[in-house]
Structure formats: C-alpha cells, structure tokens
Chains A and B, each alone.
Chain A
Amino acid sequence: METAAPRSIRLSALLTWWPAWLLLALTAAAILAPWIAPLDPDRQNLLARLKAPGFEARGATYWLGSDELGRDILSRLIYGARVSLSVAVLSVLLSGLVGVAVGMAAGYLRGWTETILMRLVDIFLSIPAILLAIITVAVLGPGFVNVILVLALTRWPRYARVAYGQTLAIADRPFVTLARAMGASPLRVLALHILPNIIGPLLVVATLEFGLMVLFEAGLSFLGLGVQPPTASWGSMLSTGRNYVGSAWWIATFPGIALFLLVLSANLIGDRLVDRIGKGR
C-alpha cells in the first residue's frame, strides 16, 4: 500500500505527458527509419498491388497493406515521418527566428522601425496563409527546401506578434533600464535580458505552429506541391489513397491516423505549456 502511492503518481505523470512520448517515438522512428522499416519504401512489386494489411509475399509481410504500386505502407509511413517532422521542425525554426527578430526589434526600438515592421506583419497576416503558400510554391516550384521557405514566409508574423507584445511588456521593466544604465548595447539587452523573459510564450506558439506546419506540409503534398514522388510523404499518400478509398481503404487511412496523432500530440503539448506558462499566443 505504501509504495503504491508514489508509483501511481509516476504512472499518472507518464500518462499526462503521453503526447510528448508519442512525439518522441515518432521522432525516433523517423531517425531510425532505415533500420526499422520492414521493407524498402520505394520498392515496387506489381504482383502485390493493393493488398490488404497482413498480406505476405515472397517472405515479406505487408503489415499495413500495400499501395497501388505494391509498396509497403508501413515502410512508407515511417519514411514519411521524416518528411513531416523535418519540414515542420525546420519551418518552425526558420519562421520563429525571423518572426522573433522582427517582433523584438519592433517592440524594443519603437518609433519608425516599429511602425514599418508591424504594418508589414499586419499585411502578411491579412493574406490567407495556405493560399500564399500555394501561389509561392507554384512560382518557385515544389520541393523540400521550397516547402520550408514557403511555410516560413507565411508563418513568421505569428511569432512577430507575440514577440512584439511580450517585448513591449518587458522593455518597461526596471531591470531593462538598469541593464541599459550599465551600458549594455541594444543587442545585449535583447538577447540577454529580454529574450529569456519572453521565451515561454514563444515556445507555446512554436509548439502549436508545429502541428499546423505538419498539416500544411501534408496539404501541399496532397496537392502535389510538396515533396515530389517517389519520396514518401503522408500528404501524397493520402492523395493517391483517395482514388482507392472504396477498394483499398488502408492506403489513405493509415497516413491519416498518423497525421492526426502527430498534430494532436503537438497541440496537446502546446496546451499543457499554456497551462504551465500562462498567457501565450
């Protein structure tokens, strides 16, 4: 009885953070893809087309079935996680970097810098993000790097808004004036004194944006504007699976479930952070 209490606390802590574990597991799967994927994700087997989950052929088991070219869905899912996660991480980093820099500069320097930068943010926020992304990819051409650039281009204003508001609030605090009275340069004040004090709300935004980036990437790939075939991507798997929903439900269903779980866990982590850190977004 006496040992039961701490164990149940530990267990409940594990359970409350299940989204984090799921995200971690997906990341591990993505990194270790070449070793854990049962089959080559791009290897076609036209004799094993559209086979249901559990199908066995020539000693290989298609645990989640095969697609219209006889490729293993499970292996493609695992490799697809690489695309989803790396696009999401890199676009969050890039848009976060740009947005935070712009927002902090506007909030700290004030005056004309503030007016110009924040009006630019307003302009970007007034353009529908996915539409801008589609147009830009259509112009730049699809591909891994372009998808990241496009997502960063459309999403940085979110971070700029939050960083701006938070910087305004912190810049008035006496310790910032004291740092300036010590002769600290604007860059030092921003990096050492303001950034650490506003990083919490920014992390919340980044986590929620992460889920959105996964969806955007899938959306672009679904439309054929993302990562190009034969590279596996959850969005493009959904897209091709759509044609076979009646006859081979597994092609679209499993990437759908994977997307759902990834975005859900990112958002739940974001919500937990909001609770912990308070006022974000």
Chain B
Amino acid sequence: MTLLSVQDLAVQAGALSLVDGVSLDVAPGEVVALVGESGSGKSLTALSIMGLLAEGLTVTGGRVDYDGTDLTALPEDRLRALRGADLAMIFQEPVSSLNPLVPVGRQVAESLVVHDRASEAEAAEAAIEMLRRVGIPEPARRATQLPTELSGGMCQRVMIAAALISRPRLLIADEPTTALDVTIQAQILTLMADLAADAGTAVLLITHDMGVVAELAGRVCVMYGGRVVEQGPVDPLFAAPRHPYTRMLLRTIPRLDEPTKGELFAIRGNVPSPKNWPEGCRFRTRCDRASDACTARPALIKGDHRVACFHPVEDPE
C-alpha cells in the first residue's frame, strides 16, 4: 500500500527537460530520502507533487498518484483542498519562508484557518500548543512576534509547527536544515522526524546530507541529472551502493574511522547543466566505468533495490 506514487514524472521549462522520468513511492508513515547534487531535479520533483511549480515550468509527463488520485490531473481548487491539510511542505530558507509582517502564531495556524478546521481563537490556541511542541520557549509570547524577531533555527521550528499542525499524511521537507547552523541541524531534523512519527505523517526528505539520510530515512532515492539512478532500502544501499554515482557520492563523505591521507575524494568534473546533458546515461561523462553501451538510456532495473546502470557495481569492496 503506497500513499504517494510518482511515476515517470517529467518536468520541462519550455523545450528544456529538467526532470525526466522520475519514479518513487512513499508508504504511509515512512521516511524516504531524495538525494542528489544541486540541479539534479529534487526540488522540482517536490514542487511538482505539490502542484507549485513556478511560472514557466510544466509537468509534461507521468503521474503523481496520491491515495489513488492523479494530482497532476486534479483541478487547482481540489489540489488546494489537499495542500496544507493532507500534503505539507517545509522549505530551505526558514527566515524568508515566513511572511515578515505576520506574527508567527498566525502563520502556524494558517492551514487550520484556511481549511476551516478551527475558529480563529481555537487555531490561535492550537498554534501556541504546536509552538510549545516544537520546543519554542514561552510560546504564548513568541506567537505574537514577527519572524524577524526570531533566530533562523526558531523560524525553522515555526515552519515545522505550521506544516504539522494539521497532521498531514505527507510532509515534503526540502533541505530543511541547509541554511541552519551545523550545531542545530541534527536537533531540528530529529524534532521534525519525531513529530511526524507522532502524527503518522510520511516524510519525503530532500537533502544532500548523507549522514541525515542514514539516520532518519527508511528508503533512499538517488537522483542525478533529472533522473533516478538508484533506489532502495537505506542499509543495503549504503552498505553496497550499486550505481557508480551513488558509490562516489558516498566516498565523498570523509570518515572518522578510516583516516584519509592527503586529499579528500571528489567526483571529477561538474554537474552538467540540463542543456548539456549527455545522451544515454547522464553520468557517463564523469563515470570511470562508462562504455559505449552507456550512450543508450539505462532502465531502472525492477526489484527492491533498483539501479539504472549498464555496469552496476556487483561486489562492493
């Protein structure tokens, strides 16, 4: 039973393909991590699920099944009824993601008010309770303050409170800690995961932090160049990554238990821009296992642990 099932999703800006055939599933209550470098199409995938793509970007193919309904075919007003109530989202920049002129308490209560789930007074009450639950001291006083009076970490807690107050069934968190101090990142993520678990909310966590993935996610979906290259349960995928890209990505993380001598590992080359994506496998220009076969598009092999590669790593060292 899946809650959300994205199939062959394609997003284009005019004729330029940005997301090309992304498929992923999220089961109720599950935490799925969507991993990849900047520009790999993670955020666009998330925004397509919410139906919030910016002007000029369109979903040109595939479907987004939520609870058996294709969201990409849903009229705007029915999609709006789901947003905030069933589907919630958290953004990267906590401070600029909050309206600078509205007290944070009212912003936390927004989804309750929008969906007529509570009266203004009840919503205000619930917002204060929610602020308390995300660990904001003196929530009643803080609720009356503006985002500019709060720190970045506080603002991120506020956004988490706003997203979870309606107990949504799916929370999409787009790099929720990237803009925060390293010292509080883990704290915020744990908080988010705990509250989501309490509410039975499934989480699609977008990140490029592998440590976060290992700790929180049940399954991982690795994206490169607008496509999913590897997907599977977190433990086998981390223990034995099969796609050369995933393997290199994991090798870029410096390890404390294996002291590296000299330089840190880096994947050679840069992420090509969507205009310069190569034919076939998009990683082949940076891959050390590439062959002529790679000029054709590799399919995502079916199974629990899927990989889209003609030369997958069979035996991890």
Query: Which A positions have Cβ atoms within 8 angstroms of B?
Result: 110-111, 172-175, 177-185, 188, 192-193, 196-197
Asked if A183 contacts B99 (CB within 8 A), the reply is no
Asked if A174 contacts B110 (CB within 8 A), the reply is no
List the B side residues contacting A180 at CB < 8 Å.
52, 83
Query: Which B positions have Cβ atoms within 8 angstroms of A?
Result: 50, 52, 54-55, 80-85, 87-89, 91-93, 96-102, 110-111, 114-115, 159, 162
Chain A contact residues: over half helix, strand or loop, or mixed? helix
Given contacts A180-B52, A181-B50, A183-B85, contact A174 B114 (CB under 8 A): no
List the A side residues contacting B83 at CB < 8 Å.
180-183
**Chain A residue with the shortest CB-CB distance to B98:** A175
What is the CA–CA distance of A172 and B91 in the complex, to the nearest angstrom?
Answer: 14
Asked if A110 contacts B55 (CB within 8 A), the reply is yes
Asked if A197 contacts B99 (CB within 8 A), the reply is yes
**Chain B residue with the shortest CB-CB distance to A172:** B54
Given contacts A110-B55, A181-B84, contact A175 B162 (CB under 8 A): no
Partner of B82 from the list A110, A172, A183, A185 (CB cut-off 8 Å) is A183
Partner of A183 from the list B93, B98, B111 (CB cut-off 8 Å) is B111
Chain B contact residues: over half helix, strand or loop, or mixed? loop
Asked if A175 contacts B110 (CB within 8 A), the reply is no
Partner of A197 from the list B80, B93, B101, B114 (CB cut-off 8 Å) is B101
What is the CA–CA distance of A183 and B91 in the complex, to the nearest angstrom?
Answer: 15
Can you spell out 12 A-B residue pairs with CB atoms less than 8 angstroms apart? A174-B93, A177-B52, A181-B84, A182-B111, A183-B84, A183-B111, A185-B80, A185-B114, A188-B114, A192-B99, A196-B101, A196-B102
Give the Cβ gap from B148 to chain A, nearest Cβ, in Å.
12
List the A side residues contacting B80 at CB < 8 Å.
183-185
Give the Cβ gap from B134 to chain A, nearest Cβ, in Å.
16
Given contacts A180-B83, A182-B110, A183-B80, contact A197 B88 (CB under 8 A): no
List the A side residues contacting B93 at CB < 8 Å.
174
List the A side residues contacting B101 at CB < 8 Å.
196-197
Asked if A181 contacts B52 (CB within 8 A), the reply is yes
Given contacts A110-B55, A180-B52, A196-B101, contact A175 B84 (CB under 8 A): no
What is the CA–CA distance of A184 and B115 in the complex, to the nearest angstrom?
Answer: 8
